[in-house]
Amino acid sequence: MQGGIAVTTEDTTRQNSGRIGRPGGRTERVRKAVADAVIELIRTEGIAFELQAVARLAGVGRATVFRHWPDRASLIGEALAEHTAQLDFPLTGDWKADLHRIAAELRVFLASPAEQAFNRTMFAARNSGFNAQLIAYWTPVIQRIKAPLEEARMKGEIDRNTDVEMVIQTLISTLLVESLVDNLQTETDLGARLVDQLCRGITKPQPGTPDSPGRGPRISVPL
C-alpha cells in the first residue's frame, strides 16, 4: 500500500483477461490512448495519479475509463502491458548474434523516459504490489532472452554448467544501472563489450584450445 494504492498481480490478471477491442479497432485505439496516458502520468507524477487525469489526457470519457479500468491497479497493468510489448527479440539461431541484438534493444528500451520512470518508481515507492506487477511483466521478456542461451546449452555450444539466469541478470542489471545513473551512458559500445565478455565466460572451449580441459597441442621444449 502506497498513498492508498494497492496493486496486485491478481488485479492485473483480471484486467488483462477483459482487455477491450480488436487490433486496429476504435476500442483498441482507446485502450492504447489510455495506456499511453498512464505511462505519461507515471513518468511525470508517479503512481499516485487520478483516474480523471487519465481520461483527460487520453481524450476519452471518464465513464469509459471507469467501466474498463475501475482502479489504478488495472490502469497500471494496462500501461505495463503496452510498454513491455515494445520489447520483441526475433531470434536467428545464432546465440551470440541474438544476444548482441537483445543487449542493443534493451539498452535503448531502458534509456527511454517511460522505462526510467517505471524503474525509478519501483526503487523509490517501495510499493510491493507495483513491483510485483513490474516483475510479472518482465518475466516473459526474460524468458525470451533466455531462449537462445538455453538452446545453445542444449546443443553443447556453451558450457552445460552455465547459470543462464545469472548471465541474464548480469546483462539486465548492468544495463539497468547504466540507464538510471545520470551521465553514465558515455560508452556507445558498452552493450557489445558486455555481451562479448559474457560470451567469453560461457562459450564451451573447443578441443585442443588453451582453455580446453582436454589435451592441448603438443609443445616441444628444447633440452
The span from the CA of 169 to the CA of 186, in Å, is 22
In a domain, 193, yes or no: yes
Domain end (from 39, 63, 83): 83
211 domain residue, yes or no:
no
The answer to whether residue 67 is domain-embedded is yes
pLDDT tens digit string along 136-194? 878 888 888 899 999 999 999 999 899 999 999 899 989 888 888 865 555 678 889 99
Overall size of the chain counted in residues: 223
Same structural domain for residues 155 and 65?
no
* Same domain, yes or no: 75 and 92: no
On whether both 162 and 198 belong to a single domain, the answer is yes
- pLDDT 10s digits, 14-23: 344 344 544 4
The reply to whether 22 and 70 lie within a common domain is yes
Q: Give how many domains the chain has, as a whole number.
A: 2
pTM: 0.70
> Residue 155 belongs to what domain range?
88-202
| pLDDT for position 221 | 36
